[in-house]
Amino acid sequence: METHIPTRASRKEWIALAVLALPTLLLSIDISVLFLALAPMSKSLGANTGQQLWIMDIYGFMISGFLVTMGTAGDKYGYRKVLSIGAAGFGLSSVLAAFSHTAGMLIFARALMGITGATLMPCTLALIRNMFRDPHQRSMAISLWISCFMVGNIAGPLVGGIVLQHFQWGAVFLLGVPVMVILLIAAPFLLPDYREDPDKRKHMDPLGVACSLAAILTFIYGFTEISRKGWDLIPILSILVGLIFGFVFVYRERRLSDPLVDLSLFSSKTFSVTLLIMLLTGIFMGGTFLYLIQYLEMIIGLSPLQAGYCMIPQAIFMIIGSFLSPVMARRTGPGYVVCLGLCFTTLGFALLTQVIAGGSPFIPMVAFSLMSLGVSPIIGLGTDIVIGSAPPDKAGSAASLSETVNELGVALGIALLGSIGALIYRIRLAGPGMEAAREGIAKALVLPLPPSSVMRVKEAFTSGFRGVAFIGMLGTIGQLLIAWITLRRTPKPGGQH
């Protein structure tokens, strides 16, 4: 039964928000730290290339696949209960990962971390939706929550470097254990428990769960493999299988009286369009970010640490944007702020189309700072619009949909825009003597090529980067038109719906 709370949140709810922000901070640190730990981890466990990829990817696959299930489980059985079970499972699986003595054991532990970690985002957002009923406060709470994710991105390389300098690689997984212990201790005292009415609640739909998992896992796996190997038969079949399971899932859900996902949420134009804009944002930003990192390291020649430092300004600008967005939305309405953000993002993409092979980090740093400033209201206000459009007892389902859309967007962006950039790269290297170099920039730069050919390789890659940025610019203009037409009149927080 839903617990009654005042419209305005008290000090207790803001303290509870700090507790809910801890897992978010942890997840963002965990992602960046693992990249630093991969080399010593692989050496210690004797992991081959395929095992390394699974160590990195299985976590994201499991989170993506289980987000919908865990969000709906929170709706049905209580967000605090599901969050607590997930936190305990995440802590235990983190310990298992830390003390893994084979690559297979670590992959299994990472899979468990992904399954249990899938409870954290939707249940956390659902609790925020229910604790902060006042739209002004909810917008600010979500902005603070998102800012913690960006702080984690900044702190991750620094924390990881310090930990790996003094401890073995397993210590990076133990960072999450005290955080989950704090959450488990504080949850019964600070977090209210929300769920559907027990008299109306039905059991989870096992077949629906299986179809949703099969659809999302095979779909994301297919596009991830395309980003690595190109348009081979197996990834394409995987995507087709995912689409088939997705069709079966939607067909089944529309006929159930108590579906796993309440598809009636999509009857709201604001809800549906906001999810679409978030998906497109993930596609354009995910694909472009892939090229940005390679440009900084392989074309300009920065070290991974130096490239990481170049990312700090964009994280700071996203934090600034996250705090300014709800304030501006109170004055003009969230639709106008989203449109303004898309203008900044378009400007950033346009600036990226001017990068050159012999350039400096300045242009991409400024461009991505503008893009991050522009994306922040899309993520913050977009998330607020999505979960605010859903009834309080469906907040977990709505939150899981927004997070799933983000995961799908990044996977699609890396695969689709990565393929387009690679095609431009290969076209620019057409001709005799460059056959091996056409296989990819990483391989080309270790070949015994003359300086003129090396510069040609770098110019070809940069052309691909500019092409991806140009597509992002056009796509963002399209998003701007969609947002202007459909979201412009979205009520201000606290206004009449």
**Burial (0-12, 13-18, 19+ Cβ within 10 Å), 53:** middle
> Is the pLDDT score of 473 beyond 80?
yes
Q: What is the pLDDT of residue 22?
A: 82
The answer to whether 66 and 260 are in contact (CB under 8 A) is no
DSSP annotation of 297: I
Distance CA 212, CA 197 (A): 24
Tokens representing 86 are 């997930």
Ranking 49-53, 67-71, 170-174, 450-454 by mean pLDDT, the lowest is 49-53
> Is the pLDDT score of 496 beyond 60?
no
> Is the pLDDT score of 107 beyond 80?
yes
- Give me the helices (H) in 353-394, please: 362-389
Write the CA distances from 143 to 52, 117, 198, 323, 378, integer angstroms.
Answer: 34, 21, 32, 6, 11
Candidate ranges 225-229, 323-327, 487-491; pick with highest mean pLDDT: 323-327
Q: What percent of the chain has pLDDT over 70?
A: 92
> Is the pLDDT score of 282 beyond 60?
yes
Phi and psi dihedrals of 494, rounded to 5?
Answer: 95, -5
Please count the other Cβ atoms lying within 10 Å of the Cβ belonging to residue 85. 18
The answer to whether 34 and 162 are in contact (CB under 8 A) is no
Ranking 110-124, 135-149, 219-233, 284-298 by mean pLDDT, the lowest is 219-233
Tokens representing 358 are 């012999």
Distance CA 46, CA 54 (A): 14
Q: What is the pLDDT of residue 481?
A: 94
Q: What is the pLDDT of residue 198?
A: 56
DSSP annotation of 8: S
pLDDT, tens digit (0-9, with 9 covering 90-100), for 345-391: 999 999 999 999 877 888 999 999 999 899 888 888 888 888 877 77
Q: How confident is the model at residue 1 (pLDDT cuts 50, 70, 90)?
A: very low
pLDDT, tens digit (0-9, with 9 covering 90-100), for 92-102: 999 999 898 88
Candidate ranges 106-110, 342-346, 417-421; pick with highest mean pLDDT: 342-346
Rounded mean pLDDT of 174-197?
Answer: 81
The answer to whether 179 and 155 are in contact (CB under 8 A) is no
- Provide the greatest CA pair distance for the chain: 75
Tokens representing 226 are 């395309």
Q: Helix-strand-coil percent breakdown of the chain, rounded to 5? A: 80, 0, 20
∠ CA 374-380-385, nearest 5°, is 120
Q: How confident is the model at residue 200 (pLDDT cuts 50, 70, 90)?
A: low
Candidate ranges 7-21, 306-320, 471-485; pick with highest mean pLDDT: 471-485
Ranking 82-96, 200-214, 299-313, 326-340 by mean pLDDT, the lowest is 200-214
Rounded mean pLDDT of 396-408?
Answer: 80
Q: What is the pLDDT of residue 2?
A: 44
Please count the other Cβ atoms lying within 10 Å of the Cβ belonging to residue 495. 11
Helix axes 312-332, 135-166, angle to 10 degrees: 170
Rounded mean pLDDT of 455-476?
Answer: 92
pLDDT, tens digit (0-9, with 9 covering 90-100), for 166-184: 888 888 888 878 888 988 9
Q: What percent of the chain has pLDDT over 90?
A: 16
- Identity of the residue numbered 38: L
Answer with the residue of higher pLDDT: 65 or 99: 99
Q: Return the closest-CA partner of residue 288 out of 458, 129, 127, 466.
A: 466
Answer with the residue of higher pLDDT: 157 or 361: 361
Q: How far is CA 198 from the centre of its chain?
A: 33
Query: b/e per residue, 402-428, with b = 16+ CB within 10 A?
Result: bbbbbbbbbbbbbbbbbbbbbebbbeb
Write the CA distances from 377 to 121, 124, 285, 381, 385, integer angstroms.
Answer: 18, 19, 14, 5, 11
The answer to whether 409 and 288 are in contact (CB under 8 A) is no
Ranking 269-283, 296-310, 473-487 by mean pLDDT, the lowest is 296-310
> Is the pLDDT score of 468 beyond 90?
yes
pLDDT, tens digit (0-9, with 9 covering 90-100), for 214-233: 888 888 888 777 766 777 88
- Overall size of the chain counted in residues: 497
Distance CA 492, CA 497 (A): 9
Distance CA 124, CA 19 (A): 10
Rounded mean pLDDT of 109-138?
Answer: 86
Average pLDDT, the chain: 82
Q: Return the closest-CA partner of residue 100 out of 87, 112, 116.
A: 112
Q: Return the closest-CA partner of residue 220 out of 200, 251, 241, 189.
A: 241
Ranking 151-155, 180-184, 308-312, 394-398 by mean pLDDT, the lowest is 151-155
The answer to whether 180 and 87 are in contact (CB under 8 A) is yes
Q: What is the pLDDT of residue 374?
A: 92
